[in-house]
Structure 1
Amino acid sequence: MAPQGLNVVNLAAACPKGGVLFTEDMISWHVPRRVTPLLDGRITVSEMHMGINGQRLDRSQMAARGYTLSTTDFHIVVEIPVGSPDGYYKSHAPDYQYHITYFVEPMLEVLWREDDTQDDTRYKVLFPIMTPLMPQSPQIQDDTVPETRVFSVLLGTFLHDVELRNITFSIGVLTVEESNAKGFTVQEHSLANGSKSFSLQVPFDADVVLKHV
């Protein structure tokens, strides 16, 4: 028996061994209802709370974001829509192909009560999640008007973290600065949703244009 005025606390560390499932629109984080070595014997889940970046959310905040917190026979399930405002997107270019990922860090708080002893065990975990690479296909819009004798194309859209540095022409690779110095027009266009596109204008008689006789 502990001396009067002294609290005895059993400490244990545990990492969730549940899984994360992805669809095109939803992230599902599955945490076991029983996390070892924290729990032993018959237990009841007394409280569950979810949050983002270490901050607990109430039910109205969860509903506004489309988050759900539920249980199955074996798991506690947190569902987060891909693209929710608490996360962010990032650009990638494996093999020169444009892809994006989405990153979010949900938090789960659980209070278990042992049926026999009525002892409480509180558990809190932050779990960074990144989606698999999602391929994106930028669209090319041809705005060329032959009478102006200028090729004009628009390429997009891209996330805000994309920067255009080089353009490959028939004569080789030119930087944006070199392209503008040759009389071409390369511009970046920022959109209201934070994404961007790029436009390129090249005169018909430029030396980078292939001539067919």
Structure 2
Amino acid sequence: MRDGRRHGCALLVLLLPAVAGLAALLLSFGRPGPAPPSPAPSGRPGGPDASAPVRVTAPAVGISARVVPLGLAPDGTVAVPPVEPDAPVGWYEGSPVPGAPGASVLLGHSTVGRYGEGAFFRLGELGPGQRVSVRRADGGTVAFTVRRVAEYPKADFPAGEVYAGASGPPRLRLVTCGGPHDPAGGYLDNIVVYADLTRGR
């Protein structure tokens, strides 16, 4: 576990690329950034999408958290999961639902201010071959196998790789803050877990 992960990280702010690869993921207190494209609609007329994720688990590192949808904030960044005890993980609705073609993106806090450890506090401890499962609103579960875990300085965040769109095989991206702690607040790096579909039902 990285020692720096124990410092406060109250807000997770996602800046999606207006053009793939041009924006960075910033974990700060509402720092403005480029406006992303509008998220793809995830719901169906008359109700929410039954395939939307509701819980993510990674038993190897003790992750078990409910998942809520995230849209866009007024400043054009992705809204953050709420800062509260047992804060949930957020699924960015502009990415595919887990198990659908393309890369689904889940974002979680590493630490949640005065509430302590966040849902993704131990995310960086995941290793290749370990399992991440996502339960859907319809009761189905999709399982993913971790392929690699990477840590990036915020300025070098590979937005085009993480937000790979809705084509190709089903994949999962888990994103949180990490690395050294910035004395001004927040973390200097981002941790990204890349996982590929193992099975779904």
Which structure ranks higher in relative contact order (CA pairs < 8 Å, sequence separation ≥ 6)?
A: 2
Q: Classify the TM-score, shorter chain.
A: under 0.3
TM-score calculated relative to the size of structure 2? 0.22
TM-score calculated relative to the size of structure 1? 0.21
Larger Rg over CA atoms: 1
